Amino acid sequence: MKKDKSTEKQFLEYLDRLLAGEEISLTDEVSPEVRSALEHARKMLAFREEPSPEFRAELRDRLLRQVSQRRAAAYPSAKPKGLWERLDSVLPPRSVLVAVASTVAVLLLLFVGVVWFAGRGGAPAETSLQLTEGEYSVRLPANIVPEDVTFTAKTSLSASPGEAAVYEIKTGDVTTQSVTELGRKLGFSGQAKLADNGTKFVMSQGSGDEEKQLIVWTASGAVEYGYVEPEKLYPTQPVQLPSQGQAELIAYNFLQQADLLPPGYQSLAKIKDETTVIAGGGYSVSRTYAEEAPPPAASAPSEPSAPSAPEEPVAPPVLTTTTGAQAPTYWLVDFPYQVNGASATGPGSKIEVSVGDRGEVVSMLWSGRQMSPLGTDNIISEQQAFLDLTRGKGSIELPLDCRQVVIEDVQLKYWLDPPSEKQDYAVPVYEFTGQCLDKNGKTLEDFTGWTPALAAAN
Amino acid sequence: MADSNTAQHIHISGFTALYEEHMAYVFRYINYRIGNRNEAEDLTSVVFEKALEAFHRYDRHKAAPQTWLLAIARNTVTDHLRKSSKRKTMPLDNAVGVESLDPSPPEETERREEYLRLQLCLAALPRREQEIISLKFGGELNNRQISSVVGLSENNVGTILFRAICKLRNCFKDWSNEKR
């Protein structure tokens, strides 16, 4: 058995080198078994087929066309033309339709005007909304679900529909001046520059591996900060990390100096990662979240009030050297994102700071959005939402081997789009969490899925 | 202030870069799994269409791009095989005769035969072994990344990989011996 393992290990080491494009010469200590297996591996590589340049270009064009179609769909004014063209042959004369459509449009405008007046004209937050579905429909990602998956709820689901608040998102003006000022607070000099067709402001500092970048998205005001090269997050050398508690303080102080502190915060997870150089010299990282570590006694903050500890100067970090492939290389300090006391979810709900070697802040994501209550609207029951989830109406992604999803919790949260997207309303979604099990009932991974909560969206 | 379209633009720029960098891995993985170039191209298209759909919620903190794309590819291939019931079960003995009609030079014919034999040997492996071989040789993932895609421990991946290669070698050797 031991011999088998060493043979296997030897083979795997040589195979990785082979796949990395290395010319390997086998020493005498390599067993015939490994030799012949490697010979076969060579043969398999020799027969590996590459995608043709024609196919590569054709698929690229096709994907770009799809992107263009999405863009066109994003312009409401572009839609009627295509629709008219498609329906031209089957509908009554255009003049009649135009007259009808005009009447409908006027009525709709009147309706929207009334709603706008009620919503913005000093209406109290508990006012029931009458917005149309499209105005605040939630843009959940698509499903990626294998077939033959069963869903079970291991928690009680309410059968009662209810009401929930809807919020209007106000993105403040992101200007050269505001970004430059933020940059100064974070140690950048010079002036922010608009980049990528006005989608973001960028500031840079340093060069090579030491180059840092500050990005502020104009669509949302979200901020990204960090080193351009991944070396600081995924170093190949052993790192000296501060203690978890100190990492929290460092993160807290970092946000404080930039005036980016959220109303409440707590530290969460320690990240373990693996750094590997793969074939072709490419850099690849795969990471898994470790069990949530208990908050440190001295600095564990509790929401909603800010803790007193971070106001004190940060003591010199207690550094511990970590080595080996599984050693953590940074602490991710994750701050909760709340919408008037309710949790936020989705790709735009991140406020997190990564603290790396010697307590340096190596990256930061901050996607805070300013919101104000717009009113309330009807929501479906948890049971209905669960049913929607099982019917593929929501958004979930499951591993291939998942055969059973066990729902352990359901919460009403507010969905936030990615920082690059403009979002006008924050609306509630049901977030389901639980476990994915394989066919033998073994847990594969944690499960998270969402369904729209507003009755109007269903 | 950027509107949603310009925001989409940057979003798509990232996707285009992702495509350029990782398309070949996805194609090679699928080609190993399916063993048919045309189908592999079709499925590669499906994978990137799915990825485009889901790209705005891709979280780089949870998975490297290659791992994320190959996980989508793996689901896509499995769905394809389930739907088409096309798991390759062609008896090995039937394979070579088809190629012998080819008028190519003898060396080329022999190479094609070998290629076909390799594909058939691969198709004869259990699904799990096919997947791991394809992720390794096609997707060029390391064993830890493979373990995160297929839900096995890294050690198990290594063991299965070694055994699968040995099986392929034996399968190929048997055929070579018979041919002589």
Q: Could you read off the pLDDT of A232-277 as tens digits, one per residue?
A: 766 667 778 888 778 878 888 898 889 887 765 544 443 333 222 2
Among candidates B48, B150, B169 on the partner chain, residue whose Cβ is nearest the Cβ of A40: B169
Q: Are residues A443 and A317 in the same domain?
A: no
Across the interface, whether the CB atoms of A67 and B71 are under 8 A apart is answered no
> Does the residue A188 lie in any domain?
no
Q: Are residues A319 and A423 in the same domain?
A: no
Among candidates B48, B82, B158 on the partner chain, residue whose Cβ is nearest the Cβ of A147: B82
Q: List every span in chain B annotated with CATH 1.10.10.10.
A: 91-180
Question: Does the pLDDT of residue A387 top 70, yes or no?
Answer: yes
In terms of CA atoms, which chain A residue is nearest residue B153? Answer: A444
Domain that holds residue A41: 2-46
Q: Are residues A352 and A236 in the same domain?
A: yes
DSSP element (H, E) containing B38:
helix B37-54
Report, as ranges of residue numbers, the positions in chain B whose pLDDT lies below 70. Answer: 1-14, 61, 84-104, 179-180
d(CA A124, CA A119): 8
CB atoms within 10 A of CB A175: 15
Q: List every span in chain B annotated with CATH 1.10.1740.10.
A: 1-88
> Does the residue A26 lie in any domain?
yes
d(CA A451, CA A457): 10
Count how many domains chain A has. 3
Q: What does the pLDDT read at residue A318?
A: 52
State the fold for domain B1-88.
Rna Polymerase Sigma Factor; Chain: A (1.10.1740)
Cβ partners under 8 Å of residue B135, min gap 6: B29, B70, B74, B141, B145, B146, B149, B150
Residue B133 with chain A: CB contacts under 8 Å: 44
Q: What CATH number has the domain bearing residue A438?
A: 2.40.128.690
Q: Which amino acid is at A414?
A: Y
Cβ partners under 8 Å of residue B130, min gap 6: B32, B33, B122, B123, B164
Residue B174 with chain A: CB contacts under 8 Å: none
> Does the residue A87 lie in any domain?
no
> Does the residue A70 lie in any domain?
no
Q: Are residues A338 and A254 in the same domain?
A: yes
> Does the residue A217 lie in any domain?
no
Confidence of residue A70 (pLDDT cuts 50, 70, 90): low
Q: Are residues A364 and A243 in the same domain?
A: yes
pTM, 2 dp: 0.48
State the fold for domain B91-180.
Arc Repressor Mutant, subunit A (1.10.10)
In terms of CA atoms, which chain A residue is nearest residue B163? Answer: A8
SS3 at position A166: strand
Distance from CA of A312 to the nearest CA of B (A): 31
Q: How many residues does chain A have?
A: 458
Q: Are residues A355 and A380 in the same domain?
A: no
Per the listing, tokens 């997870």 go with A269
Among A54, A56, A397, A67, smallest CA distance to B44 is for: A56
Among candidates B9, B24, B62 on the partner chain, residue whose Cβ is nearest the Cβ of A51: B24
> Does the residue A419 lie in any domain?
yes
Q: What does the pLDDT read at residue A228?
A: 79
Q: Please give the ipTM for the structure prediction.
A: 0.81
Distance (Å) of CA B84 to CA A398, A401, B78:
21, 19, 10
